[in-house]
Amino acid sequence: MKLNLNYDNIKKSYLFVEIANRLKAYTADNPGADIIKLGIGDVTRPLAPCVVEAGMKAVAEMGDAKTFRGYSPDSKGYDFLRNAISAYYKSNGVIVDADEIHVSDGAKSDCGNITDLFDSDNTVLIPDPVYPVYMDSNIMNGRNIILSECHEENGFKPAPDKKVKCDIIYLCSPNNPTGAAFTRAELKEWIDYANSMNAIILFDAAYEAFVTSEDVPRSIFEVEGARRCAVEFCSFSKTAGFTGTRCGYTVVPKELLDGKFAAMWERRQSTKFNGTSYIQQRMAEAAYSKEGIKQCRENINVYKENAKIISDALTSLGIYHTGGKDSPYIWLKCGGDSWEFFDKLLTKANVVGTPGSGFGKCGEGFFRLTAFNTPSKTAEAVSRIKKVL
C-alpha cells in the first residue's frame, strides 16, 4: 500500500479549521467573550419563505407512498431544477441549455472534483491569493502549479501574461478572498488567452448574485469566446443561503472539446455521485422562482449593506481595501503579519476575520472580513475594529 504523499505538501489543516481551532482555544480561556464572527463566508439569514415552503412540501411528498422518490433518474439533477437554472441564466441575458447544467451538492465539491478529468501532467495557473480549494486539490494530484500574483498595484485582479503557458486556469469573480471583480473587458482578455493555447478556464461564479456594477459580468458566458474554453461553477450557498442545505451546479458548454468534456464530467459524476437530494433540488428550484429570486435578493441586500458599512469605515480611516461592492468580502491592508493581525482583532476587539496569508503568499499583510453577519453585529464589529486600528 502506498499513500498519496502529495498530501504532505498541503497545509496540515484547512484554513477555516485552523481559525475554528484558534477561536475554540481563545473562548475556552475567555468564556465570557462576546465574539463577532466576520471570518468564514457563512450566511446567517434564514432561508427565504418560499424555499422553506418548497422544502416542507417535498418532505411531505417523501412521506407519502404515492409521491415518494428514491434515487434521482440521473446524477445531473431533475429536469425541473435544470430548467429553472436555465431560465435564471436567461433572465440575466445568457443562454445556457438545461442539458449543459449538472446539479451537485455545491461549488466547492465540483471545483475540487473536476481535477479528476485532467491528466496530472498539466500546468495549472492559479491566482495568488486564492480560495484554498483550487490550490489544495491540485497539489493533492501532484500537478505543476504556476501562480499569477495579485497585489495592490493590480487591484488584486490578475491579468494574463502571454509569455506564460498553461493548460488549466482557475478564475473566481467576484473573487474570494479579495472581493475584486473582473470587468467584461478584463475577462475577455483571459478568454482570448485561454483560447489562444487551448487551455481551459475553471470559472468560479459562486458570488455572482452580489454583482451590481454594470460592467461586471455575472457569468463568464456573457463574454464572447467563453463557451469554447470555460466551465462555470455556481452555488446556492451565498445566493440563497444554502451553506447548510447544499446545492450547486456546474455548467459545461457543448462546444467545449466538442462535447467530450461534458460527457466525461457526466461519467465521473454518475460513477462517484448519486445526485443531490430531491428535497434540496425542490428548494433550489423555489429559490430561482420569480418570488424566490425576490426573497433571496432581500437577504443579499442586507449583506451588501453590511459590506458597505465595513467598506465605508475603512475608506474613512484611509485604509486600502478591495471588494465590498460586488462581493460580500472586504480585503483590507493590515500591514505586517496577517496572523498577528488576526490575534490582535480577536483578543482586543473580539472580532474574528481571516488572515490573508491563509489564501497564499501574496495575501500576507492583508486580511479578509465578511459581510455575512447581522447588520447590528457588523456595525458593532466595525466600531470595535476602529478602536484597535
Kindly state the smallest distance separating residue 235's Cβ from ligand MLT, in Å: 7
In three-state secondary structure terms, 236 is coil
Question: Taking CB under 6 A as the rule, does residue 40 contact ligand MLT?
Answer: yes
In angstroms, the CA 103 to CA 100 distance is 10
Kindly state the smallest distance separating residue 120's Cβ from ligand MLT, in Å: 24
Q: Give Cα 87 to chain centroid, integer Å.
A: 21
Q: In the complex with ligand MLT, which residue's Cβ is closer, 70 or 244?
A: 244
Nearest to 266 by CA among 108, 69, 81, 110: 110
Kindly state the smallest distance separating residue 361's Cβ from ligand MLT, in Å: 18
How many residues does this entry show for the chain?
A: 389
Options 39-47, 122-130, 222-230, 289-297: segment touching ligand MLT (CB under 6 A): 39-47
CB 287 within 8 A of CB 58: no
In this structure, the dihedral spanned by the alpha carbons of residues 58, 63, 66 and 69, taken in order and rounded to 10 degrees, is 60
Kindly state the smallest distance separating residue 171's Cβ from ligand MLT, in Å: 16
Kindly state the smallest distance separating residue 2's Cβ from ligand MLT, in Å: 30
Q: In the complex with ligand MLT, which residue's Cβ is closer, 179 or 253?
A: 179
In three-state secondary structure terms, 315 is helix
Options 37-45, 86-94, 253-261, 301-309: segment touching ligand MLT (CB under 6 A): 37-45
Query: Which 291-350 positions form the footprint of ligand MLT (CB under 6 A)?
Result: none
In angstroms, the CA 135 to CA 131 distance is 8
CB 307 within 8 A of CB 323: yes
Options 36-44, 63-71, 182-190, 284-292: segment touching ligand MLT (CB under 6 A): 36-44
Q: In the complex with ligand MLT, which residue's Cβ is closer, 131 or 203?
A: 131
Kindly state the smallest distance separating residue 40's Cβ from ligand MLT, in Å: 4
Report the run of H or E that residue 26 belongs to, with start and end: helix 15-29
- Applying CB under 6 A, among 176, 245, 311, 378 the residue interacting with ligand MLT is 176
Q: In the complex with ligand MLT, which residue's Cβ is closer, 256 or 352?
A: 352
Options 40-48, 50-58, 215-223, 341-349: segment touching ligand MLT (CB under 6 A): 40-48
Strands 230-235 and 248-251: antiparallel
Q: In the complex with ligand MLT, which residue's Cβ is closer, 96 or 172?
A: 172
CB 339 within 8 A of CB 314: no
- Cis status, amide bond into 129, omega within 30 of 0: yes
Options 34-42, 185-193, 265-273, 307-315: segment touching ligand MLT (CB under 6 A): 34-42
State the residue number with the nearest CB to ligand MLT.
41
In angstroms, the CA 315 to CA 255 distance is 44
Cβ-based neighbour number of residue 116 at 10 Å = 15
Kindly state the smallest distance separating residue 131's Cβ from ligand MLT, in Å: 6
User: What are the residues facing 170 on neighbouring strands?
Assistant: 202
- Applying CB under 6 A, among 108, 282, 321, 325 the residue interacting with ligand MLT is 108
Sheet containing 321-323: which strands, arranged edge to edge? 321-323, 329-333, 366-370, 354-355
- Applying CB under 6 A, among 19, 36, 38, 41 the residue interacting with ligand MLT is 41
Give contact residues for ligand MLT (rule: CB under 6 A).
40-42, 108, 131, 176, 237
